[in-house]
Amino acid sequence: MNTQLRPHPRSDPARKWWRGAAIYQIYPRSFADTNGNGVGDLPGITAHLDHVAALGVGAIWLSPFFKSPMKDFGYDVSDYLTVDPLFGTLADFDALVARAHALGLRVIIDQVYSHTSDDHAWFRQSRADRTNPKADWYVWADAKPDGSPPTNWQSVFGGAAWTWDARRGQYYLHNFLSSQPNVNLHNPRVDAALLGVARFWLDRGVDGFRLDAINFAAHDPMLRDNPPAANSGAVRTRPFDFQQHIYNQSHPIIARFVERVRALTDEYGEVFTVAEVGGADPIEEMHRFTAQPGGLNSVYGFDFLYAPKIYPKLIEKVLGDWPDRPELGWPSWAFSNHDAPRAASRWASEADHTAVARLNLLLLISLRGNIFVYQGEELGLTQAHIAFNDLRDPEAIANWPLTLGRDGARTPMPWNSTAPHAGFSTAAPWLPIPEDHRALAVDRQNDDDASQLTLTRSLLKMRAHHDALSIGAAKMIVADNQRLVLERTAGRERLLCVFNLGTTPAAWAPAQPDQWRVLAAVNGATTWNLPPLSGLIAEATA
């Protein structure tokens, strides 16, 4: 691989810091453990922020570290304003923010507004009776005359989305686990309380929020049944997959709530807001949540995260959903995260894992929008195989063996190839570390010019250096069965991003091939000749 940097005009000083940013996702349980309990913690993150800063990213995103019974590993929050003792203290969080800022890194945190833990004080009070001050802070409904749930809505994790509570003599709604009751966003007091949570963390210095599963935050108050989904022929492992999710989620009130989140964050300056939006066809909802000027800054979808393979026509379609228009938000992209099998394994045979990990990085930095790099992606980590007895993910356990689950993407970071537990902890970690990940440990790759880690540093710094890559316009030139060609432009800068995503050689050349200079290439790509699974980025010289 080679990269070349050249002097270039300074970016617009009025540009928002987050526009075009590369953001590194940290899953706290699996990053680094400092107290020897086998679970990562906030001091472990702080101790390794130099590694993150050296990658060339502009921000970190922390998955939940709030107090929680951990039935869904932090996405079941029992106290929004407290760090779970498993991860440390509020003082540890403040130290993390201070160190990140000293290194030039912004800090983005998850906010889970669609539901809480059933151990949250709000829910404990709400379920006590039908007349207490928080009685309507959650979604409660009477049984049908035959005692069955109020609607046919199904939970993402399997089974009905309603659980009976004898104290109230009613059912409560939960789109995920039964221990994750949905808040009632139709109640303005709930709206205000959630905005108070956001203000608490903004006052502590955070620079942005990722709003988890935000399209599940409000339901149809008329409690209409969801219609059945058409059978596409694909294997359906959950009752959830048998319905069109029209009434249990995506109520229009959510768009008004995210506008209030945006208005609050604007009080604090350049705070980044990004929504996670999933679903079978979420683009209209994604555009609604990010409608400018009052919507969120960006949206984080699953177009690539759940794609079983990557191919040019998919990229053409996904990028085409986000034209450069002022009324639309700014897109964000990720190939891997804590909820999806790692892309190096999803999109390649075992023999091609290394080549595809390298190709993925070059492709990711070429996309118009923000990019998220998931911890371990800079090392080329593959999806871990987790034996059934070692599974922790409730979805994987419930649907085993048809669902890969999330544990295989959540295994601990390998820091030292020869240390016990790969340097992650002095104790047995909460998930096993695959032996083949030891060979990819940070210490093995740190000073290796040919390593995935070195490539990551080079490519992320190149993206930050070239406005055409980070904030420029994007034009699709070619998207056929295996070739993908993107033109990226900003001012007088013009780049071509050329890829062969197929497994046979290919070639492509611009009209004046001699007027281009290669800035970066992976997997043997030379000027306009593309071996299988290769790519290059070239700059116009005239």
Rounded to whole angstroms, the Cα distance separating 150 from 362 reads: 49
Catalytic residue among 41, 72, 84, 212: 212
3-state secondary structure 316-339: HHHHHCCCCCCCCCEEEEECCECC
Which of these, 105, 75, 297, lies nearest to 205 by C-alpha position? Answer: 105
- Encoding tokens for residue 16? 């928002």
Strand partners, 343: none
Rounded to whole angstroms, the Cα distance separating 130 from 136 reads: 8
- The residue assigned the tokens 């399209």 is 215
For residue 9, the tally of other CB atoms under 10 A from its CB is 10
Q: Quote the strand ranges of 229-301, DSSP E.
A: 272-276, 298-300
212 is catalytic: yes
Catalytic residue among 267, 350, 447, 449: 267
Backbone conformation region of residue 404, classed left if phi is above 0, alpha if psi is from -120 to 50, else beta: alpha
Burial class (CB in 10 A: 0-12, 13-18, 19+), 62: buried
Query: What are the distances in angstroms from CA 353 to CA 343, 359, 373, 421, 536?
Result: 9, 10, 17, 23, 19
Which alpha helices (H) appear in 278-429, and where do they start and end? 283-289, 312-320, 343-346, 353-366, 394-399
As a dihedral over the C-alpha atoms of residue 308, residue 303, residue 452, residue 478, rounded to 10 degrees, the angle is: 90
Crossing angle (nearest 10°) for helices 253-266 and 188-203: 30
Q: Beta strand 2-3 with 22-26: parallel, antiparallel or unpaired?
A: unpaired
As a dihedral over the C-alpha atoms of residue 113, residue 119, residue 121, residue 123, rounded to 10 degrees, the angle is: 70
Cis peptide before 150 (omega within 30 of 0): no
493 is catalytic: no
Sheet holding 170-173, edge to edge: 140-141, 170-173, 162-165
- The residue assigned the tokens 């686990």 is 177
Q: Give the catalytic positions in this structure.
A: 212, 267
